[in-house]
Structure 1
């Protein structure tokens, strides 16, 4: 066989081999509740794109965030470790360490280009956790978590020549609109090679501001909120003023839904949808900030979907999140799964899909088989801890979940729930099932390692 003929034969085979590895897009909402999407029961907030994503993919009903607030949840997502082991166990500008291996470093070995838009929050410029030190090839967004509290900004961080630098924006730029545009541009530039894109929106968290076109559907003809009566968020607070907090919150969720549509449309336009796994989730439960109230959460929108608790709680409403995955030809459309998975399963799952090795120190397990609609049975405990407002631990094993509360650094009480029969956690069964309580408390001790950072020690 001539050399030319051999090259002609090999070339298509190489192209086919190259196309096997799918693109991966992970879209993350900031403080969006389990029940804020139509496919999860939302009646008032319009989310047509995410509802269509669920119809064309797989919707999970027992998926859990890494924590009940931003930084540790995202650290868990990136490292594959739960909060009983991960270095970052609470909010604050604590960077990932050089020894903390994250998703991008695993996927880089498999030939992926890694891009991120939105909130990072796991390392400021010049630290070991800065994007350039964790194999991000592209980044446009915020490094400091407080930067992500506000929806309008005159500056942003960008990865340029291997360094995170701050760049100016036009005054009063709606940052999430910018993030969506940058995500679309990244896809266009990397359409011919496998890529991982992390879209880390900062909505619907906290400053309740949104472009007018998204607010209009939630206003009456006279310009007042359709959710009246409204109690305005006054000026002079940490978060900006807002005349109609309920309408603004709904509009922010709808805006993110629309931005997600821009990303999906670009995949279709480029003809790469079939070779792209798209996932949508939220970093923790819904918030009560920026003018939002518990009445808004529970009675108006039912943002928790009937679950108990919100952000900063270890009840289900603080940690159970929506999770939708679409991958044409691999995930059966319109399916619903009650498989119990979590953020620390994402790294090993992505490594499995990318056909590369998983770090040895992860707590998660791959659910790639379950993701592709092949039933995967696993009986393992899930663990969380959180130290704001007093140290708390939670563990779920099968149908059972225990939450242990501390005072002065010592256990005060443990609550026990059957979260399959009692998903709203109304009936504390600890008094009737003392053996189960002891079993789950032993698991808490077994799964937890002492934090290397004194900020996250057991204390009140």
Structure 2
């Protein structure tokens, strides 16, 4: 792709356009309004991308996004599992305030209430065409026994494509998709691959809506386990030095490449299936960048790429972070986060802490959209304009009460990050751990015993926050 900033003068002009968008000017034409594309990977660990230090996986387009935009090293998920992250993204509120603190089961009576103004509804009121491609996971499903459901079309999405109506389960990456059995195959391949189908839908959405401002939520099912890559790509990664291996499970003892649980699916490091899935995600990002350039929309489209929680330690390591999905250690909640678009400084790495509930107020400011909904996040639009901008100091909070341990090992707990300090309270055995993240991002050294005053202060702050947001009582 040719440079988006061919001359210094043009660069200044683009930055002016972007700043005008941030200020919410009302005189903009459709062509000048800022399009938003939010690309969310599922269970992608912090260190899976090349730009985050991975040398086995292949992510050239995401790495290019990082070199042409901003990459963050302390971007957090509001929860270590799926549904509460998505609830926080859609509303800008703490999962504890929303009473969605764990992933929703297929027959769950719980769902995101319609009373909330979602990100899609806010942008729709500003004249945006809104679309979701893929995973929703903010409701139980009537087809699985839930008394009621609220799916994306009830929350402000004009177009809903390849979105589940039964659940997620162990993944179903080749057509027919058991989580949505009614969906018809669209791609010419005999074994239509879900991630490629999602990208085809995303590209068609962009093409259909090129003449109006749009918000596209490209919500991937990959790389949720059971990871399952296209056979030719899996073979490519199997041949690389250091590739992980595992035996096929009994359900696929013949190692059919189009059935789940084949050879190497459960490799714990340098997983060929995970790498193959991630490569398809990356190629889709490249196709989106090309489509935007071909349509002349690269000059007024903002792309955000991130993940909903940490990687599963059954198939990855999340090093140098500790633990993974389902855990309040950093490996469960610290995510890759890249943002690319007009006015964004090139090749900037920021270590300022952000959380995914900050997305709602940030997009609100950037687009000039209106919403009276209370938000717990804060806008980081100023940081995108000026990487030297210092975000206001604040504490970050998590509330993850479980009736029993998560099947991946996560425990019932709450946590607080205050400056460089992180405290975790485990509700199951009433123990407390304290870490200095500036010195110990891998959380190897619990220093609670050496710092009783800091522990007491953070415990008090965390308890006061739970009271303020009306958090459900911790489960023991």
TM-score range, shorter chain: 0.7 to 0.9
- Deviations along 1:210-229, one digit per CA (max 9) or x if unpaired, are 22332232133xxxx75456
CA contact (8 A) 2:79 2:333 kept: yes
> How far did 1:436 drift?
1.1
2:272 maps to 1:240 = no
Q: Return the alpha-carbon distance in structure 1 between the equivalents of residues 320 and 290 of structure 2.
A: 33
Could you report, residue by residue, the CA deviation over 1:291-350 in whole angstroms, capped at 9, with x for unpaired residues?
x3xxxx33xxxxx2401111011000100000000012x111111111111111001111
1:139 aligns with 2:173: no
- C-alpha contact (below 8 Å) 1:81/1:362 kept by paired residues: yes
The equivalent residue for 1:424 is 442
SS at structure 2 position matched to 1:197: strand
Which moves more between the two structures, 123-132 or 192-201? Answer: 123-132
Q: Which residue of 2 aligns with 1:259?
A: 284
- Do the aligned residues in 1 keep the contact of 2:74 with 2:354 (CA within 8 Å)? yes
Equivalent in the alignment of 2:117? 101
3-state SS of paired residue (1:78): helix
Pick from 222, 238, 256: which aligns with 1:219?
A: 238
Corresponding position of 1:42:
54
Could you tell me how far apart the structure 1 residues matched to 2:322 and 2:243 are? 25
How does the TM-score come out when normalised to structure 2?
Answer: 0.82
**SS of residue matched to 2:96:** coil
Alpha-carbon distance in 2 for matches of 1:286, 1:416:
23
Structure 1 position 43, deviation (Å): 1.1
Instruction: Give, in whole Å, the separation in 1 of the partners of 2:177 and 2:276.
Output: 24
In the TM superposition, residue 100 of structure 1 has moved relative to its aligned partner by 2.2
In structure 2, do the counterparts of structure 1 residues 372 and 90 end up closer, same or farther at CA, with 3 Å as the change threshold? same
CA distance in 1, matches of 2:26, 2:422: 49
| Residue 333, structure 1, aligned to residue 346, structure 2 | yes
Q: Deviations over 1:385-411 (max 9, x none)?
A: 21341420011111111100012xxx6
Q: Which residue of 2 aligns with 1:397?
A: 418
Q: Give the equivalent residue in structure 2 for 1:288.
A: 313
Residue 69 of structure 1 is matched in structure 2 by: 81
TM value normalised by structure 1: 0.85
The alignment partner of 1:95 has SS state of coil
Q: Confirm whether residue 204 of structure 1 aligns to residue 223 of structure 2.
A: yes
Unaligned runs of 5+ in 2: 1-24, 143-147, 253-258, 266-270, 406-410
- SS of the residue corresponding to residue 417 of structure 1 reads strand
Give the whole-Å Cα distance in 2 for the aligned partners of 1:33 and 1:155: 25
Distance in 2 (CA, whole Å) between partners of 1:450 and 1:14 is 36
Partner of 1:414: 432
> Which residue matches 1:343?
356
Instruction: Please report the RMSD computed on the Cα atoms of aligned residues, expressed in angstroms.
Output: 2.5
Distance 1:128 1:97, change over 3 A: farther
Structure 1 residues without counterparts, runs of 5 or longer:
1-12, 159-164, 299-303
Can you list the C-alpha shifts for 1:96-130, whole angstroms capped at 9, x where unaligned? Answer: 11212210111111111111101111135674521
- Distance, in Å, in 2 between the alignment partners of 1:431 and 1:128 is 47
1:450 and 1:457 in contact (8 A); partners too = no
SS in 2 for 1:142: coil
- Provide the residue aligned with 2:145 in structure 1: none
* CA distance in 2: counterparts of 1:137 and 1:229, whole angstroms: 42
Q: Is the 8 A contact 1:22 1:194 kept in 2?
A: yes
Whether the 8 Å contact between 1:35 and 1:305 is mirrored in structure 2 is yes
1:111 maps to 2:131: no
SS at structure 1 position matched to 2:352: strand
Q: Give SS of 2:432's match.
A: strand
Cα distance change, pair 18–241 in 1 and its aligned pair in 2 (3 A): closer
Alignment CA distance shift 1:109-1:39 (3 Å): same
Task: Mark the CA change 1:274 to 1:247 in structure 2 (over 3 Å): closer, same or farther.
Answer: same
- Find the aligned partners of 1:199 and 1:351 in 2 and give their Cα distance: 19
Contact 1:157 1:167 in 2 (8 A): no
Q: Which residue of 2 aligns with 1:153?
A: 175
Task: Report which of the two has the higher share of strand.
Answer: 1
1:440 matches 2:452: no
